[in-house]
A and B are shown apart, each in its own frame.
Chain A
Amino acid sequence: GDSVTQMEGPVTLSEEAFLTINCTYTATGYPSLFWYVQYPGEGLQLLLKATKADDKGSNKGFEATYRKETTSFHLEKGSVQVSDSAVYFCALSDRGGNKLVFGAGTILRVKS
């Protein structure tokens, strides 16, 4: 079945450091890809998405590019802030966006 693998955390960075969280997937067909973020005490929020190969999703300084050839959707940010500390989930779904398959989540801690 479909699956998502993302790097284990926690990832600890200093403020203004560069962030990469790796995500690879296995799926049949052409899934849509997502990054969700969960801040402490809150529900998951959609951070960005891409629905076809070579699409780049971006939001709040975060970016991820849908790479079909490497089945990857790595999350990047050029300069992290303390407020970016959260858990980040990579996920995929079918075209209808109904059945989300999540990675295990990566805890990000940013220190000032």
Chain B
Amino acid sequence: GAVVSQHPSWVICKSGTSVKIECRSLDFQATTMFWYRQFPKQSLMLMATSNEGSKATYEQGVEKDKFLINHASLTLSTLTVTSAHPEDSSFYICSAKMAGDYNEQFFGPGTRLTVL
């Protein structure tokens, strides 16, 4: 199957700093990428959907200025957590999808963010 990578796999940062997480589709062109957040013992919550070359669509309750998403190419999307605080600590997961309906989302392994 198609492979999606994330980098870094884990990151620890100080409160007030910004952190960038990369999501790459390694062997296919991803017209749409998704960012999810997962709290301990809870389900994945969709944060935003991004289409290559256009602005991301954020879910209700997700701060656009806090979580900046860029989908500059068909193989790369980035999530930047700006001015991170301890409550932003979480597991962030991306997925990627090819063009067309019913196409499967392929998931990255996730990034563990800890804000001190």
Contacts and interface: CB of A to CB of B under 8 A. Distances in A.
A36 B44 CA distance: 12
Given A89-B44, A104-B41, A105-B43, A42 B101 contact: no
Instruction: Determine the main DSSP class of B at the interface with A.
Output: strand
Interface in A30-46: 32, 36, 41-46
B104 A43 contact: no
Contacts of A41: 109
B4 A98 contact: no
Interface of A: 4, 32, 36, 41-46, 51, 89, 95-105
B46 interface: yes
Instruction: Determine the main DSSP class of A at the interface with B.
Output: loop
Contact of A43 (B34, B46, B97, B108): B108
A104 B43 contact: yes
Interface in B1-18: 1, 4
Nearest to A96: B101
B4 A97 contact: no
B7 to A, nearest CB: 13
A86 B46 CA distance: 22
B76 interface: no
A44 to B, nearest CB: 4
Given A95-B102, A102-B44, 19 more contacts: A4-B43, A41-B109, A43-B106, A44-B95, A46-B105, A89-B43, A89-B44, A96-B101, A96-B102, A97-B97, A97-B101, A98-B97, A99-B46, A100-B44, A100-B46, A100-B95, A102-B43, A102-B45, A104-B42
